[in-house]
């Protein structure tokens, strides 16, 4: 195996025996083969589109499959074997249909398109030859993988939007094009151009998800979220999928079973539609990487709706359920919803009834809900505070949390920020400082949480709104600094989206991605002023200058 797609990759170089995330070598290889097969399917799907065929089912399969390969989503060998079989079948069918129609397939003769096999042994042998290292040139590999990770993150966001009935064929078409481009001998300029184009579709993807979420559940509102527990049996829901949460809340209503959020599901509390459920109690615990300890103490069943699964400990393994793109051998999986129906969570609810109530981890509450609509409604107040000098600078500290001790930098940085600065956050990075009492500036809290990682879109809209309010020509003239923590591929698409919107001088930490070669880093530094982090003191000086 060779995988370097996330920030925690071994030695900041690459996982080669077993993932730091717990992904085994055989699963990593099968994921590589699945991606390879998606490239082949895309070659035929592009042809199919040219002749007017409806590709939507194929596009959804590509999207879903990409999502299953992101960090901490799916660890299940059997799942990937079955998915490879399915994609091979789809690929073959597509080829046959196109041949029957007399479509010229001479430009779709790449091995990724024509390769097929029947046995798992053949899959495993092939997988070893089509991974990341199959591209020898370090810079080409870097740009190809940057693009692949961008579309993986994008696919995850599209998946959440699709669950609510929203999709965009143009974005699917770009994903196909991007996948195929990684099999072509393109110039560096051409590859860079597609990577940047991916950022454009990143903005579109986050916009469609924002529309899906806010149209379905209302605009996030300023909300106090309870951190304590009640004395009832309960279910903990994690991940990002709001539709799963809705189904779960509907089905637990009146059963005596409470529901708490974990990790990235925290922002669900900000949506008006979920406030009507009396049993939707609060947020339990912290970011994804603390789940081993926190799931143990929760005592009840846990539902993982998207990525963020850490291989479970035996002590609570029987209480963890997966659904959607998530998978782990031995965990119970809740099947997809049938058209127009809800997912059936009754097994989890019955399980909860037999469990003790959660052990309390903390008390108190935190405030969030500062997505674009809320901040726009406060715009006058915010603009006034900037004009009067009450707010000197905003710090976008969106992104991810993770295991590395070096991430304590973000807690220290938040504590060290001058009192006349405001943090704009989204994603699980917030857990590094959302429970510090950083106070407020004239009633505006010093930590404004917009929501999940995809709600970084809100932060971009807020920046654009401020640009307008201050009548500036360039978003980089605003008193906003970007000190972003990244972990996995959704953060990659967020980064590409920000670059597309023209944001410069983003600092990324705790380390720069291992998949960026020195030359690719140079392109990003020269064109976008991308930088890393050093230490709180020096960085603070640099940002405040
Ligand atoms: Fe991931 Fe980052 Fe959304 Fe976190 S991009 S790691 S769990 O911020 O939030 O999925
Ligand atoms: Fe390693 Fe990250 Fe890949 Fe897991 S996802 S195998 S930790 S690089």
User: If you search the block for the tokens 């982090």, which residue do you land on?
Assistant: 533
d(CA 480, CA 483): 10
pLDDT digits (tens, 9 = 90+) for 163-191: 999 999 999 999 999 999 999 999 999 99
Whole-model pTM: value is: 0.97
Q: Band the pLDDT of 386: cuts 50, 70, 90.
A: very high
pLDDT digits (tens, 9 = 90+) for 7-33: 999 999 999 999 999 999 999 999 999
Compute the distance between CA of residue 397 and CA of residue 81 in angstroms, rounded to an integer.
Answer: 39
Query: If you measure from the C-alpha of residue 72 to the centroid of ligand 2, how many angstroms do you get, rounded to a whole number?
Result: 8
> Distance between CA 269 and CA 222 in Å, rounded?
10
Q: What distance in Å separates the CA atoms of residue 243 and residue 543, rounded to the nearest whole number?
A: 39
Nearest ligand to the C-alpha atom of residue 22: 2
Instruction: Report yes or no: 227 and 202 within 8 Å, Cβ to Cβ.
Output: no
pLDDT, average across residues 252-263: 98
Banded pLDDT at 377 (limits 50, 70, 90): very high
344 and 327 Cβ atoms separated by less than 8 Å: no
What the block records as the tokens of 217 is 């559940």
CA distance 527 to 480: 19
Query: Which among 423, 528, 415, 417 has a CA at the least distance from the CA of 484?
Result: 423
- pLDDT tens across 59-102, in order? 999 999 999 999 999 999 999 999 999 999 999 999 999 999 99
Q: Is the pLDDT of residue 154 over 90?
A: yes
169 to 49, 204, 342, 512: CA distances (angstroms): 11, 11, 25, 33
CA-based nearest residue to 126, from 193, 17, 43, 34 = 34
What does each C-alpha distance from 166 to 121, 158, 159, 198, 216 come to in angstroms?
A: 39, 8, 9, 19, 10
Average pLDDT of the residues in 234-247: 98
Residue 290 to residue 294: CA distance in whole angstroms = 6
Q: Give yes or no for residue 487 CB within 6 A of ligand 1.
A: yes
283-313 residue pLDDT tens? 999 999 999 999 999 999 999 999 999 999 9
CA distances from 411 to 289, 376, 450, 480, 536 (A): 16, 27, 18, 19, 10
3-state secondary structure of 444: strand
The answer to ipTM > 0.85 is yes
pLDDT at position 339 is 84
Summary mean pLDDT of the chain: 97
Ligand 1: which of 326, 489, 490, 513 to mutate, judged by most atoms within 8 Å of the beta carbon?
Answer: 490
Cα–Cα distance for residue pair 481/398, rounded to 1 Å: 11
Q: What letter would DSSP give residue 399?
A: B
Give 208-240 pLDDT, tens digit per residue. Answer: 999 999 999 999 999 999 999 999 999 999 999
pLDDT at 107 over 90: no
Q: Answer whether residue 138 shows pLDDT above 90.
A: yes
Output the CA angle 309-218-67, nearest 5 degrees.
Answer: 30
Task: Please tell me the distance between residue 220's alpha carbon and the centre of ligand 1 in angstroms.
Answer: 19
Burial tier of 247 (Cβ tally within 10 Å: 0-12, 13-18, 19+): buried
pLDDT at 515 over 90: yes
pLDDT digits (tens, 9 = 90+) for 33-51: 999 999 999 999 999 999 9
Name the burial class of residue 340, with classes exposed (0-12), middle (13-18) and buried (19+) by CB atoms within 10 angstroms of its CB: exposed
Average of pLDDT values for 517-522? 98
| Whether pLDDT at 108 is above 90 | no
For 309, half-sphere exposure in the C-beta direction (CA atoms, 13 angstrom radius) is 31
Ligand number with the minimum distance to the CA of 160: 1
**Using the 8-state DSSP alphabet, how is residue 356 labeled?**
P
Q: State the pLDDT at residue 340.
A: 84
Q: Which atom of ligand 2 is nearest to the CA of 20?
A: 7
Query: Can you tell me the distance from the alpha carbon of 376 to that of 481, in angstroms, rounded to the nearest whole number?
Result: 20
Mutate to test the pocket of ligand 2, among 16, 18, 19, 149 (most ligand atoms within 8 A of CB): 19
Cα–Cα distance for residue pair 208/430, rounded to 1 Å = 23
Distance from chain centroid for Cα 326:
13
545 pLDDT exceeds 90? no
Query: What value does the mean pLDDT take over residues 517-523?
Result: 97
Cβ-contact 321, 331 below 8 angstroms: yes
Q: What is the percent of the chain where pLDDT is above 90?
A: 99
Which of 491, 509, 513 is the pocket-test mutation for ligand 1 (most atoms within 8 Å of CB)? 491
Write down the H helix ranges in 182-286.
Answer: 188-217, 242-252
Evaluate: CB of 6 within 6 angstroms of ligand 2: yes
Say what the pLDDT of residue 142 is.
98
Is 280 in a helix, a strand, or coil? strand
How confident is residue 103, by pLDDT bands cut at 50, 70 and 90?
very high
Tell me the per-residue pLDDT of 526-537, one tens digit each, with 9 for 90 and over: 999 999 999 999
Q: What is the pLDDT of residues 308-357, one digit of tens each?
A: 999 999 999 999 999 999 999 999 999 999 988 999 999 999 999 999 99
pLDDT at res. 391: 98
For residue 19, give the ligand nearest its CA. 2
Q: Within 13 Å of residue 398, how many CA atoms lie on the same side as its CB?
A: 32
* Nearest one of 321, 330, 112, 141 to 236, comparing CA atoms: 321
Q: Are 352 and 321 in contact (CB under 8 A)?
A: no
Query: Tell me, what's the pLDDT at 407?
Result: 98
Q: CA–CA separation, 229 vs 282, rounded Å?
A: 8
Mean pLDDT, rounded, for 474-502: 97
Q: What angle do CA 103, 105, 106 make, to 5 degrees?
A: 135
């Amino acid at each position: 195996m060779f995988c370097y797609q996330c920030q925690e990759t071994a030695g900041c170089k690459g996982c080669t025996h077993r993932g730091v995330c717990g992904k085994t070598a055989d699963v990593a290889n099968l994921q590589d083969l699945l991606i390879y097969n998606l490239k082949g399917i895309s070659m035929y799907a592009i042809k199919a589109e040219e002749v007017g065929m409806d590709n939507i089912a194929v596009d959804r399969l590509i999207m879903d499959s990409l999502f299953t390969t992101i960090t901490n989503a799916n660890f299940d060998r059997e799942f990937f074997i079955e998915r490879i079989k399915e994609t091979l079948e789809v690929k073959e069918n597509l080829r046959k249909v196109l041949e029957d129609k007399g479509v010229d397939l001479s430009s779709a003769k790449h091995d990724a398109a024509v390769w097929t096999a029947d046995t798992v042994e053949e899959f495993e042998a092939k997988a070893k030859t089509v991974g990341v290292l199959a591209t020898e040139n370090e810079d080409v590999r870097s740009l190809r993988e940057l693009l692949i990770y961008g579309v993986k993150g994008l696919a995850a966001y599209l998946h959440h939007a699709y669950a609510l009935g929203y999709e965009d064929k143009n974005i699917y078409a770009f994903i196909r094009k991007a996948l195929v481009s990684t099999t072509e001998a393109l110039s560096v300029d051409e590859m860079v151009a597609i990577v940047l184009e991916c950022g454009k579709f990143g903005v579109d993807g986050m916009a469609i998800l924002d529309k899906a979420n806010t149209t379905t559940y209302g605009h996030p509102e300023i909300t106090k979220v309870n951190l304590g527990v009640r004395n009832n049996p309960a279910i903990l829901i994690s991940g990002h999928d709001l539709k799963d949460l809705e189904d779960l809340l509907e089905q637990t209503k009146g059963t005596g079973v409470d529901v708490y959020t974990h990790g990235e599901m925290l922002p669900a509390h900000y949506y008006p539609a979920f406030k009507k459920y009396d049993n939707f109690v609060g947020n339990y615990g912290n970011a994804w990487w603390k789940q081993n300890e926190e799931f143990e103490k929760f005592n009840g069943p846990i539902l993982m709706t998207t990525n963020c699964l850490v291989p479970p400990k035996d002590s609570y393994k029987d209480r963890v359920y997966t659904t959607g793109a998530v998978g782990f051998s031995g965990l119970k999986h809740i099947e997809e919803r049938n058209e127009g129906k809800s997912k059936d969570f009754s097994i989890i609810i019955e399980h909860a009834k037999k469990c003790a109530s959660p052990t309390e981890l903390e008390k108190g509450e935190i405030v969030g809900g500062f997505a674009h609509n809320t901040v726009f409604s406060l715009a006058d107040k915010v603009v006034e505070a900037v004009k009067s000098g009450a707010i000197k600078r905003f710090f976008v500290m969106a992104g991810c949390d993770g295991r590395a001790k070096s991430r304590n930098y973000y807690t220290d940085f938040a504590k060290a920020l001058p009192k006349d600065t405001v943090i704009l956050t989204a994603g699980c990075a917030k857990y590094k400082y959302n429970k510090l009492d950083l106070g407020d500036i004239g009633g505006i809290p010093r930590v404004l949480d917009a929501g999940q990682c995809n709600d970084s879109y809100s932060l971009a809209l807020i920046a654009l709104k401020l640009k307008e309010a201050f009548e500036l020509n360039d978003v980089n003239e605003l008193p906003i600094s970007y000190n972003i923590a990244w972990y996995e591929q959704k953060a990659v698409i967020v980064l590409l989206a920000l670059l597309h919107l023209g944001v410069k001088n983003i600092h990324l930490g705790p380390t720069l991605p291992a998949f960026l070669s020195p030359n690719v880093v140079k392109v990003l530094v020269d064109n976008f002023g991308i930088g890393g982090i050093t230490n709180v003191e020096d960085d603070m000086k640099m940002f405040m200058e």
